[in-house]
């Protein structure tokens, strides 16, 4: 009975593996009107183990169909993280006269040693002749042997149209390496990026992504480079930073100062974000592993462990702080927003508004206007297991996230999970919020998605989404519920 209760944490609008362990999203590719999601998967236990690529597809980024694992470990190693891309021109030469466009998956083959030696990591290729459903590993793997690095993994491969080359960006310790190739077989190293840029800790950067994106409302194109840090995110532990700049097919140059740090998310549970390749309208949609290496193996779920974030459509905008990526719920979700009866009213000091009695999953979409000095408590689970306190001063809005341990779990989880995290939002009259609540997570997209905050919370006594005005008065200018 106790075990069954615990599976109540399984989300309803977030992707989870059917059973077993999951970490990073891998090989995100859009083909034949479907989004393929591969992921780091160990199907035989609920802790990290020899890595497979799990697999699922969806037409709307919300309802996923589970498929058999696409890649499984063999004597050439486990299948660590990587990417996938459609080989439209058959540059690889693997797809003569196939009815389906060929799909290529690049992953790190990793051979672990149990005698204390470092693991061996090298870049390998698998291909699919049936539109991404079944996969063969190349007989001649690896395509890029290890140049002598301890950490050499997570290849993201793109076709770079301007230089007519394949480009691979891959973790090389505290930086990423760029390689290029005409035939996917011979790779030439072109550059490194990152040693003195952005955030670093004692662990290697992980899971790079690289893509072009047009600045909203202009013809100007920038490039975005995403990388994961393992121990020094804004909220502590794993997190995902990004750089905006230019990429000429050989090297990436940062548009900002080396010290500028941009986070895709300021919460504790948004790691290893990747974006889908080959999306027809050129849009960029990301998804991330909704956990943190500090406690991922120990959170209190049983049959499955870890969920993905909700996919986010990203656009590049000029904000008051400079160029930033803004995230929103993908249009494919087709959310129908209903106006809440309290929309347009005000919440005064000491008053609460319960948006739902038995909250399972849902989306709140709101605009609040705070009197200066006002404070609002947002309790996604209606209790104190995870609360956000928003206050407004002359300088702008300030968000404090308070998370406590609400359910027992393993010792390490008990030690590392609870946290208080602060975030300043620049001066703005309104607070714009989209909140996605599920059985064990809350994702806030604030100020049109310029600031995202993703947090897990495990409490079996969920009692509905609640807003409480602690101080002053807060106008619920617009309050929608889906
Ligand atoms: C990131 C990561 C990757 C690696 C994978 C192994 O979470 O450590 O660098 O490829 O997980 O599962």
What does each of the 482 residues of the chain score in pLDDT, given as a tens digit? Answer: 344 445 789 999 999 999 999 999 999 999 999 999 999 999 999 999 999 999 999 999 999 999 999 999 999 999 999 999 999 999 999 998 888 899 999 999 999 998 889 999 999 999 999 999 999 999 999 999 999 999 999 999 999 999 999 999 999 999 999 999 999 999 999 999 999 999 999 999 999 999 999 999 999 999 999 999 999 999 999 999 999 999 999 999 999 999 999 999 999 999 999 999 999 887 899 999 999 999 999 999 999 999 999 999 999 999 999 999 999 999 999 888 899 999 999 999 999 999 986 656 789 999 999 999 999 999 999 999 999 999 999 999 999 999 999 888 889 999 999 999 999 998 888 999 999 999 999 999 999 999 999 999 999 888 889 999 999 999 999 999 88
Ligand 1 pocket test, candidate residues 73, 156, 207, most atoms within 8 A of CB: 207
- Distance from the CA of 144 to the center of ligand 1, in angstroms? 18
* % helix, strand, coil for the chain, step of 5: 5, 50, 45
Q: Which atom of ligand 1 is nearest to the CA of 206?
A: 9
Q: Which atom of ligand 1 is nearest to the CA of 40?
A: 12
Ligand 1 pocket test, candidate residues 21, 153, 174, 274, most atoms within 8 A of CB: 153
Maximum distance among all Cα pairs of the chain, rounded to whole angstroms: 70
- Residues marked as catalytic: 24
Q: Is 416 in the pocket of ligand 1 (CB under 6 A)?
A: no
Q: Is 51 in the pocket of ligand 1 (CB under 6 A)?
A: yes
Q: Which atom of ligand 1 is nearest to the CA of 293?
A: 7
In the numeric block, the tokens 């002598």 are attached to: 148
Structure tokens at 171: 């973790």
The closest alpha carbon to 316, from 282, 273, 274, belongs to 282
- Distance from the CA of 123 to the center of ligand 1, in angstroms? 14
The closest alpha carbon to 287, from 25, 35, 472, belongs to 25
Ligand 1 pocket test, candidate residues 73, 121, 170, 206, most atoms within 8 A of CB: 206
Structure tokens at 125: 């290729």
pLDDT at site 6: 52
Q: Is 23 in the pocket of ligand 1 (CB under 6 A)?
A: yes
What is the rounded distance in angstroms from the CA atom of residue 173 to the CA atom of residue 177?
Answer: 9
- Distance from the CA of 207 to the center of ligand 1, in angstroms? 7
pLDDT at site 3: 47
C-beta of residue 124 within 8 angstroms of C-beta of residue 76:
yes
Which letter does DSSP use for residue 264 in this model? S
Structure tokens at 194: 């990152």
Which letter does DSSP use for residue 73 in this model? -
- Distance from the CA of 206 to the center of ligand 1, in angstroms? 7
Number of other CB atoms surrounding residue 478 within 10 Å: 18
C-beta of residue 370 within 8 angstroms of C-beta of residue 432:
no
- Distance from the CA of 184 to the center of ligand 1, in angstroms? 23
Q: Is 24 in the pocket of ligand 1 (CB under 6 A)?
A: yes
Q: Is 113 exposed, middle or buried (0-12, 13-18, 19+ CB in 10 A)?
A: exposed
Q: What is the pTM of this model?
A: 0.97
pLDDT at site 290: 98
pLDDT at site 5: 46
Which letter does DSSP use for residue 311 in this model? P
The closest alpha carbon to 466, from 396, 362, 393, belongs to 362
The closest alpha carbon to 439, from 419, 452, 456, belongs to 456
Q: Which atom of ligand 1 is nearest to the CA of 110?
A: 10
The closest alpha carbon to 368, from 476, 446, 468, 449, belongs to 476
């Amino acid at each position: 009975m106790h075990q069954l209760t615990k599976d109540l944490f399984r989300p309803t609008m977030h992707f989870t593996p059917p059973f077993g362990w999951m970490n990073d999203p891998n090989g995100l590719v859009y083909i034949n009107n479907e989004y393929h999601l591969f992921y780091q998967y160990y199907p035989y236990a609920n802790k990290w183990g020899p890595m497979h690529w799990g697999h699922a597809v969806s037409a709307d980024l919300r309802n996923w169909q589970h498929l058999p694992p696409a890649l499984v470990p063999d004597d050439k190693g486990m299948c660590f993280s990587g990417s996938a891309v459609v080989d439209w021109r058959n540059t690889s030469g693997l797809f003569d006269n196939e009815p389906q466009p060929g799909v290529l998956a690049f992953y790190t083959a990793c051979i672990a040693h149990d005698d204390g030696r470092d693991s061996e990591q090298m870049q390998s290729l698998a291909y699919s002749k049936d539109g991404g459903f079944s996969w063969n590993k190349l007989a001649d793997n690896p395509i890029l042997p290890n140049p002598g690095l301890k950490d050499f993994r997570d290849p993201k491969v793109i076709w770079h149209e301007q230089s007519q080359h394949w480009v691979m960006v891959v973790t090389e310790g505290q930086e990423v390496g760029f390689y290029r190739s005409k035939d996917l077989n011979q790779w030439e190293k072109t550059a490194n990026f990152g040693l003195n840029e952005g955030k670093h800790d004692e662990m290697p950067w992980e899971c790079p992504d690289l893509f072009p994106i047009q600045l909203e409302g202009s013809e100007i194109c920038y490039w975005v480079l995403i990388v994961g840090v393992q121990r020094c995110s804004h909220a502590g532990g794993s997190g995902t930073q990004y750089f905006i700049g230019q990429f000429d097919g050989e090297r990436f140059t940062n548009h900002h100062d080396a010290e500028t740090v941009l986070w895709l998310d300021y919460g504790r549970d948004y790691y290893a974000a990747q974006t889908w390749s080959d999306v027809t309208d050129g849009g960029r949609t990301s998804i991330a592993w909704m956990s943190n290496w500090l406690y991922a193996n120990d959170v209190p779920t049983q049959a499955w462990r870890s969920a993905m974030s909700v996919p986010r459509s990203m656009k590049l905008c000029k904000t008051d702080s400079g160029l930033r990526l803004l995230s929103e719920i993908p249009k494919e979700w087709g959310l129908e927003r209903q106006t809440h009866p309290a929309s347009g009213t005000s919440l005064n000091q000491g008053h609460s508004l319960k948006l739902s009695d038995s909250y399972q999953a849902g989306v709140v979409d709101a605009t609040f206007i705070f009197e200066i000095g006002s404070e609002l408590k947002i309790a996604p689970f209606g209790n104190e297991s995870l609360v956000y306190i928003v206050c407004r001063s002359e300088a702008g809005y300030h968000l404090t996230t308070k998370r406590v341990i609400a359910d027992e779990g393993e010792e390490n989880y008990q030690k590392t999970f609870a946290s208080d995290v602060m975030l300043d939002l620049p001066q703005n009259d309104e607070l714009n919020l989209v909140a996605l609540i599920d059985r064990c997570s809350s994702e806030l997209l604030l100020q049109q998605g310029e600031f995202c905050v993703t947090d897990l919370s495990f409490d079996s006594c969920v009692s509905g989404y609640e807003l409480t005005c602690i101080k002053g008065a807060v106008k619920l200018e617009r309050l929608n519920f889906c």
